[in-house]
Structures are given as structure tokens and as C-alpha cells.
Amino acid sequence: MTLVLKFLKRQRAVARCGAIILLACSASLCAEEDATEVFNFKVSLDNREVGWHRFVVQTDGDQLTVSSKAKMDFTVLLVKKVSYRHEATETWLGDCLQAFESETERNTKRVFMSGSMKDGDFYVNRNEEEVLVSDCVRTFAYWRPAWLDDEFLLNVETGKYTPVSLEVTEDRLTSMTKRVVGLPKTEIHLGYDKSGNWQTLESDLKIAGTLRYQRINESVGETDAKL
């Protein structure tokens, strides 16, 4: 009888351990599915720091929300001063954009842009007119590199659906993955670490110079007022 009781106690203990492990694993899976990623970037133009850009990516199962905010101040051709402010929000379901809103201010000019899914198609509100884009739209989602592999990408600042190409290479010396997004008139060079996390961006701007993003650990933009 004593042996039977000891055996039953051991079985119950094993069952409890199994339940604890299962709960821990479930919690871990939930943490992976429901997560928040923050990307803070220092922005420079021709090696002069001009501002910052911050992205917050929130995942809830198949749904994803991205909030971005940027602030830059620089001079073009040593004469013209440019003040740039930008905010955008994107809502995704799987790898297809469901809606977006953006507000951009250059000096005194403000531009509002938005778009959403309607009856299975995505429409952009451009110049007070709804423009049909496609049934599954992707943006320049640098924070999800796999989503850059498409024939067209939507610029949420301008509302333009731009033809693109993508080239991917591996740098064995730095263990970085390089992605080059080709646009009709320029290229965007992106760098990702060995875990696939976005770290850098570089692109040549007309007249202004070479724009560079470098990811940093400290937070940026949280205390700045909205546009």
C-alpha cells in the first residue's frame, strides 16, 4: 500500500511539472505572437546629424500596427532651410495593409494622406479622390524585410504606388544582410543584423546629399509634440 501511495504521489508531481512546463511554453508563444518592437534611428545628411525617426511595431496575433514619427532640420545648398515633420500609422492583417493615415509637414506646407480596404480592394485617398491600388498592398516596411519582396510598394507619405526591385546579399565579414530596394530614380540601401533586425538605411537625395539612418539604443521622439 505504501509503495502504491508513493507511486501515485510521484505521478501527480510529474503531472504538475508537465502542466507548469505547458503553461510556460504557452506564455512564451503568446509573447512571440503579441509583441512590441521599437526602432529608434539617428538620422544624418552627408554625415551631419539632422534629426531622428522612430518606429513602434505592435503585433497582436495576425494583426499588426505600426506608428512612426520623424523630425529633421537641415539646409539645402547652404541656403534653403528645411523643417521636416512626419507621422504615420499603418494597420495590417497578415502581410496585407488594411489602412493607413499620414501627416507630413515641410516648412509651412502640410500634406494629409490616407487609405483603406473596401470590398476586398485597397483605395488611397489622394487629392480628395479615392484611387484603387490593389487587393493586397504593402508599404516600404523596412521593419519586415520579407514584405519588401514585391513588384510595387506604397509610399504612405505621398500615396504613390511605386514599382520596385529587390536585391539581397550577405556580408560574411560583418554577418550583415544587405537589401537594396530599387526605385525608378534612386536606391534605398538597408542593413540587417544576423538576427534579421533592421539596423541601417542609406539613400542619395536630390541636391540634399546622402541620407543615413543608424539604429540607436536610446529612445527618441517620445516627448516631442505632435504635428
Q: Per-residue confidence at 222, pLDDT binned at 50, 70, 90?
A: low
pLDDT of residue 110: 94
The overall average pLDDT reported for the chain is 85
pLDDT of residue 80: 83
CA distances from residue 53 to 44, 49, 173 in whole angstroms, order as listed: 11, 12, 28
- Is the per-residue pLDDT at 169 higher than 80? yes
Q: Is the Cα torsion angle 193, 152, 113, 50 positive or negative in sign?
A: positive
Q: How many H helices and E strands in the chain?
A: 1, 15
Query: What does the pLDDT average to over 56-82?
Result: 92
Distance from C-alpha of 46 to C-alpha of 180, rounded to nearest angstrom: 19
pLDDT of residue 218: 78
One-letter amino acid of 38: V
pLDDT of residue 224: 57
Q: What is the CA radius of gyration of the chain?
A: 23
Question: Residue 208, CB half-sphere, CA atoms under 13 Å: how many?
Answer: 19
Helix H or strand E segment including 11: helix 2-33
Name which residue leads in pLDDT, 6 or 65: 65
Distance from C-alpha of 86 to C-alpha of 53, rounded to nearest angstrom: 9
Count the residues in the chain.
227
